[in-house]
Structures are given as C-alpha cells and as structure tokens.
Chains A and B, each alone.
Chain A
C-alpha cells in the first residue's frame, strides 16, 4: 500500500492543477544530461550528506555571563559569573520532509535539590511537510510564537548579554508548551504559524514576574485549559521583517480553580538588518482576566497579578566592519526598554510598591561576532524604577555560541 507521504503531494497537485501548466513536459525535452555514476566528489566543507551513515544531527548553543549590579546610592555592587545555559540540540531526518528536532537545556550548570540550576527539555517536536514548505504540520513541545527572542533565542542572534527584559517578563522566554499546529508559507515573503497548546497555570502568576511562572512547559502539564496562538510574518525585502502574534488561553482550570482566568496577549515587532544597520523593535502586552477573584482564592492568599502587563523596546546598532574588508562584525548598539508587570490592577489601588514594577532601561553595548555563530558581548544598563524605588546600574559581559 502506498504511504500517505507518497500520495498526499500527488492528490494536492491534482487538486491544484486547474489547467495545463506551462512547465509540463519541459523536463522531457531539453539537453541530454551525462551524470557521473557516483555522486562524488562534492566540494563542500562536509562529506556529501547523502553518503553519511546517519541522518542524526547534533548541535547546541550556550552562553556564559558575568553580571555586576550596583544599586543607586550604594557604596558597592555585587558581581556574579554564571554559565547561564548550555543546550544540546539533537535532530533527526527521517526523510527530507519529516524531521524531529529537540533541545535539552542545562541552566546554571548544577541541577538538583538545593542547587541553582535545572535540566529541562526546551523543545521536542516533529515537522511533517505535507506540501513542501507551503504547508507543514508541527507537533510536540514547541516554542510559543510570540515576539522576537522567544523563537530566535540563540545568543549570537541578539545584542546584549541578557535577553531584553520585555522578552523575559512580558513574553516569558523561553516559553514552550506542548501542542499541535501548522506552519504555512504560501509565498516567500509571508509566513504563518497557528498552534493549539497547553495553557498557563494561574497559580504561578505574580506581580513581579507576570505570567512567567505560570508556564507549564509540558512537565506533566494540566491540560484542562487550552491556548491558541499564532504568528504572521511579512518580509517585504530581504532583511526587513514585521511580525504580529496573538495568544488566547485560560489559566484558571490548570490551577484547579473554578474561575476561568482568561489570558489574551499580543506582540508587534519589526527587525531590520541591511547595509550594516541592525535595528529591532517590539511591543508586547498581555491582559489577564478574573485577577480580583484569583486574589481571593486560597482564603485571600491567591496569586496577586496585574490585569495588564505591558512592555516595549527599540534597539539600533551598526556593524562598524560591514564596509571594511573584514568578515567579522563589530556592532555597538543602543536599546531603550520600558516594561511594567503592574500596568493595571483590578479590585485594588496601586501602592508605591506596585509603582516600582514600572521600569525604564537604557542599554549601551558592543557585540563582536568573529563568525555569525559566536558573539562576545558587553553592555552597561541604567535602570530606573517607578515610584520611590531605587535605580540600578548593571554591567554585563558574556560570550555566546551556537552550532
């Protein structure tokens, strides 16, 4: 019996063929082609792929950070050094259109009881191309397609040692949930993803971290509350891309509550990388419902979370070596961020403590990329907090890599 894989493209082709295609039959004419009997040799830096015994690929990425922070008016700051994350990528190609991809993460090197780190499966999904790249089915533990950094989180792909705070506290990167969905690319300048995934757990919501601790990540996740999320990307010119993402889910059921706690969010982002200029901007906002009722659960000790969390940033950099005869990249950059995990509160007034969650960061830094897959990074951050909270000065140094 034929496999579905074999028949599906044929059926789809027949459905799409409304009239005789001009290219039909062209392959039968044209020149006579002599081909070497052996497909060797290839000139690439790797042995010819089809001659490899294994279609299993190992890769990875990681980043080492040095962080220094000093509070306003303090005499001395504090410093730390951390192998923040090391990720092992394992992929396997069953056929060119049927692939498995996974990332296993070790955070902060030491994982276990009373140790700072964790071992986690970051991604594990199967891609099945029903009709080439125009339509693929994707299922497994996948990244929630919100904002820029959650999907493109490898350290050489963003400036600054730490990820932008908006991509940490508003979009809780690295945010991944189990689910199933489709990836569509009907034309090369349009990309679209749509997934049904497990939702958030409202028990983890807080004023300080927003929805971040409500991520379930497929760890025996409660699947009583589902979420739907999608992203539309338009790239009118190579290197200039706009993205619009949406998220709708309910988080109450996953916390074992009778209340719904709906969560709706959106991000709007843009990236521009041409002629040495590297610029990006993102706006992210999530609305959380039933927060007043959520606070009253657990005898009034329920999670205290804002009804709206919001943030945005803009960043611009320039590759000083773009016009030189060097192949490396040296990119000074400037970023402004504003984020607030207590933007709106339902059922109670804002206190001075709540005001402190509104933060402005000005980040100045430098990235050096000897190859696109490796970045040495440094930056200084001036952080101002709302209300009477004290600001901070931060200095970060780091190295990141991917392969």
Chain B
C-alpha cells in the first residue's frame, strides 16, 4: 500500500468515529490530494521531541544579498523555520515550502539535521494530474543526506521519474532552496542563537 493511504487511514477512521458519535457524517474529512497537514508532518518529523515551535526570521541585508546569489531569485522579507526541541536540545529544523510544478504548485516539507543535511522530504499537497510519483520514497530518498553545497542536478546525481520530469526538477529545486535557507539563516549564524526564544 502507498504511504499516502497509510497516512489517510488514521485520519479517515478518526473522522468516521467522531462523525458517528456526533451523529453527523459530514465533519471534515481530509481533502483528496492532501497527503499531510502541516501539523501532522511536523509531528512526524519531530516525533521524538516534546515541542515543535517556529521562528520567523527576517534576513539581514547581507544575508538577503547572499541568499539572492545562492538561490538565483530575490530573498523574501521573512522566512518561517520550524524546529523541534527535545531533551537533548534542538533536534533539527524543518521548512515547508512550495514550488511550481508543470502547472500547479507542489507543497513540500524538508527536515534538515543540525549538520545541514536533508533527513526527510515529504510532499504535503500534490495538485497535478500527472507526475505525483515524486511523492514516493523511491524518489525522495535520493535527496536524503544531501547538503546545500551538493550538486542536486536531475540527470546527474538525481534521477527523475519517467513522466514526472518537470515535477522532479521542481521538487529538487525547492529542496535545494530549503537547504540553502537552513544553512544561511540558521546553521551558519549559530542555531541556538537564531532560535533562542
């Protein structure tokens, strides 16, 4: 069975149970095409942690200039970074982002370890009729362990899925952006300093 179905089963059953109790079947079932909610994905990313929090980071002018150079697009005014806190301190950071596929945006999340390497990539929402194979672990595991300085080029160190070429390029571009953001905004300036409450 696909991961997606497994993801849906608990939510769908929870929903059904609640609906039966409430006597109203029409309570919110997850919409099709949505594989993770933001909260569920963060819980799964940081399952061993006690708390997941976030920080909104406004890049300094010099950070913005370096981001623009590394990303090939203007830096934004602010970026949201999620992080998990457990007994041993900050476990890692997560970014949730979007990248345009062939026609529709793909919403995805990246878990980045404290060493700057991608640990896990998941697609939250996939909207196009074709190419959703990029959601699968067979594709995303190629991105695990990658760092912002790695090549991350479809056709060289990453293989596209047939019929999902454009989506593969999009997801890889998005993951690379998240790795650069994690490096320049959080890891390089000192994670504990940046994420201090």
Binding site for B on A (CB under 8 A): 1-3, 5-7, 9-10, 12-14, 16-17, 21, 23-27, 30-36, 39-46, 48-49, 57, 59, 89, 91, 93, 95-99, 101, 127, 129, 131-134, 151-152, 157, 185-189, 233, 235, 237-241, 271, 273-276, 319, 322-323, 327, 329, 372-373, 402-403
A35 near B54 (CB under 8 angstroms)? yes
Chain A residues with Cβ below 8 Å from B34 are 96
Interface pairs (16), CB distance under 8 Å: A1-B26, A2-B26, A10-B13, A16-B9, A43-B76, A46-B105, A49-B98, A49-B105, A96-B34, A129-B32, A152-B163, A235-B161, A238-B138, A271-B162, A275-B155, A372-B165
Known contacts A31-B43, A43-B97, A239-B161; decide if A13 and B13 are in contact (CB<8 Å).
yes
A31 near B159 (CB under 8 angstroms)? no
- The CA-CA distance from A97 to B77 in the complex, in Å, is 33
- The CA-CA distance from A16 to B26 in the complex, in Å, is 20
A188 near B156 (CB under 8 angstroms)? no
Chain B residues with Cβ below 8 Å from A133 are 2, 4, 132
A369 to chain B, nearest CB (A): 10
B5 near A132 (CB under 8 angstroms)? yes
Known contacts A34-B51, A42-B97, A319-B155; decide if A238 and B10 are in contact (CB<8 Å).
no
Chain A residues with Cβ below 8 Å from B160 are 238-239, 273
Please, which residue of chain B has its CB at the minimum distance from the CB of A133? B132
In this complex, how many residues of chain B approach chain A with their Cβ under 8 Å: the count is: 85
The listed residue (B4, B52, B98, B133) touching A132 by CB distance below 8 A is B4
- The CA-CA distance from A206 to B104 in the complex, in Å, is 41
- The CA-CA distance from A402 to B163 in the complex, in Å, is 14
A45 near B104 (CB under 8 angstroms)? no
Most B C-beta atoms less than 10 A away, residue of A44, A127, A151: A44
**B116 is an interface residue with CB less than 8 A from chain A:** no
B138 near A96 (CB under 8 angstroms)? no
- The CA-CA distance from A227 to B11 in the complex, in Å, is 40
A189 near B13 (CB under 8 angstroms)? no
Known contacts A23-B9, A34-B52; decide if A235 and B162 are in contact (CB<8 Å).
yes
- The CA-CA distance from A127 to B130 in the complex, in Å, is 11
Please, which residue of chain A has its CB at the minimum distance from the CB of B168? A238
A278 to chain B, nearest CB (A): 8
A199 to chain B, nearest CB (A): 24
- The CA-CA distance from A151 to B162 in the complex, in Å, is 12
**B107 is an interface residue with CB less than 8 A from chain A:** yes
B127 near A31 (CB under 8 angstroms)? no
Chain A residues with Cβ below 8 Å from B26 are 1-3, 6
- The CA-CA distance from A16 to B4 in the complex, in Å, is 14
- The CA-CA distance from A32 to B84 in the complex, in Å, is 10
A23 near B31 (CB under 8 angstroms)? no
**B114 is an interface residue with CB less than 8 A from chain A:** no
A96 near B132 (CB under 8 angstroms)? no
Chain A residues with Cβ below 8 Å from B46 are 30-31
A9 near B47 (CB under 8 angstroms)? no
Known contacts A24-B10, A24-B13; decide if A96 and B97 are in contact (CB<8 Å).
no
